[in-house]
Amino acid sequence: MSRYAPSVDHPVDQPAEATSATRPLLPLATPATELAAWLTTLTDVDVHGDLGADVSGVSLSTARVRPGDLYAALPGTRAHGATFAGQALDAGAVAVLTDAAGLDLLPAGTPAIIVPDPRLVLGRLSARVYGDPARGLRVIGVTGTQGKTTTTRILEQGLTTSGVTSAVIGTVGTRIAGHDVKTQLTTPEAPDLHGLFGVMREHGVDACAMEVSSHALVLGRVDGVVFDVATFLNLGRDHLDFHSDLDDYFAAKAGLFTPERAKVGLTNVDDEFGRLLLEVATIPMATYSSRGADADWRAVDVALTPSGATFTVVGPGVEVPAAIGIPGEFNVSNALAAIASAALAGLDPRSVADGVAGVGGVPGRLEPVVAGQDFTVVVDYAHKPDALEAVLTTLRPLTAGQVIAVVGAGGDRDTLKRPLMGEIASRLADVLVVTDDNPRTEDPAAIRAAVLAGAGGPAEVLEIGDRRRAIREAVRRARPGDVVLVAGKGHESGQEVDGVVHPFDDRVVAREEIAAREDLR
């Protein structure tokens, strides 16, 4: 499969990932002939049929085509998007963007713009169709293996609390000026992303914090965006089912720190790859550290508590008190990254720090489940080795009794991280319950066996495939002073088995099992 092919089987016809709120209410209209002429400045272009109609939107999916759209028919892993062009035209598409292979699949007479690689121009084309809306925003892009969601969410909440009309795009969805918008991908496909920026402009948004995944960079989802600030958090083992190795993974992340993608960068010098980034980035770079390293932005006088931390932010001409209401040293680092990023984007760091101090939490990130029990239950998205180790390391000193961890691993993903997660959990927990996460198309028992193969630590180890039963066992074992960690799925509300997503929310299930335990007393 091409590295530039979408990562789903039928990306051109996947279920709708967005509501009507992902498009501007008052779209612009650009003649298709004008778009074709503009594309000649980027690539070779061939045109077919009558391109006299105006284009007011762009869509990759026939399910989301609206009258006036340009339908982008891309090659997929199992089918070419041009196969569905008839459906797009019936839904109101006025023209199709595709490649030479797609041209042969179009209905006769279809107005079409043919380019060698439509994905390579799709981002910039989408930006043009929607009037380059990102240029009217302060856009802060955050990349890294872990902490993207927490950093962008606390930044958006902190900005909003400080009076800045804000938005956030990421793993747990999109929020625009206080309103939630349904999205599925960590970084939406380029047409949806630029449409979202257009909606933000209509809602008076000043600043947008967004997660930028390595997939998004490689697949061109953020093409056409020049970030005001690009922030690098860290890099660890993840996505090695997509990237050939860690060097390839880092190279994808480093691609964000170029003049084509960002104006200024911020990097974490507590992370070895963050320091390496200083050597390869081609834009002006600032640095930050929460662990005492020499950096432009530092967190000093850090005091960790069971409910969060207080610290002082020291930066160029800046010294402000700060706090974060989420436990863990790594969340001090995330909060510092958020405050420094905002300052680099031209926002007042003192106001942002005050706003961040009032943030109550982030969905599925060390999220407590409270149902009247006399022990602690937290749900966290930790589904990779570094994240699992960070969470368990945070919980250990806050636990008077035992740490009971419920851990699984996802199917159809990097297989080598499974024993690493078993090793970490069995070393840092007192009781490890190995269960199913999202098996997807793999044999769940084989995934559990790989996790168990690494579980050589001192913890008592149990294997319970059924995730509800695993959570039930963890909850029923807990005593006053214990902490139960349910790791891996966080904010997710479904469990994928054999291509079917079944309703399952760790937070809901944990609350139900706590209630059932109390009823048995």
pLDDT at 463 over 50: yes
Domains of the chain, start order = 11-129 (3.40.1390.10), 133-357 (3.40.1190.10), 367-520 (3.90.190.20)
Residue 273 has a pLDDT of 96
pLDDT band at 241 (very low <50, low <70, confident <90, very high): low
Residue 240 has a pLDDT of 61
Q: What is the mean pLDDT of residues 244-264?
A: 93
pLDDT in tens, 13-59: 333 333 346 788 877 899 999 999 999 999 999 999 999 999 999 99
Residue 16 has a pLDDT of 33
Burial of 291 (0-12, 13-18, 19+ CB in 10 A): middle
- DSSP, collapsed to helix, strand or coil, labels residue 54 as strand
Distance (Å, rounded) from C-alpha 64 to C-alpha 15? 9
DSSP for 267-319, please give it: EETTSHHHHHHHHH--S-EEEEESSS---SEEEEEEEEETTEEEEEEEETTEE
Q: What is the mean pLDDT of residues 259-280?
A: 98
Question: Which pTM was predicted?
Answer: 0.89
Enter the DSSP assignment of 412: S
Q: The tokens of 310 are what? A: 């207080």
Q: Residue 481: which residues within 8 A CB-CB, separation 6 or more?
A: 375, 399, 400, 401
Three-state secondary structure readout of 319-385: EEEEEECCCCHHHHHHHHHHHHHHHHCCCCHHHHHHHHHCCCCECCECEECCCCCCCEEEEECCCCH
pLDDT at 184 over 80: no
pLDDT at 355 over 60: yes
Mean of pLDDT over the chain: 92
Q: Which residues pair with 308 in a beta bridge?
A: 305
Strand-pair category, 112-114 with 95-98? parallel
Distance (Å, rounded) from C-alpha 21 to C-alpha 55? 19
DSSP for 74-118, please give it: -B-SSSBGGGGHHHHHHTT--EEEE-HHHHTTSPTT--EEE-S-H
CB count in 10 Å sphere of residue 496 = 18
pLDDT at 482 over 70: yes
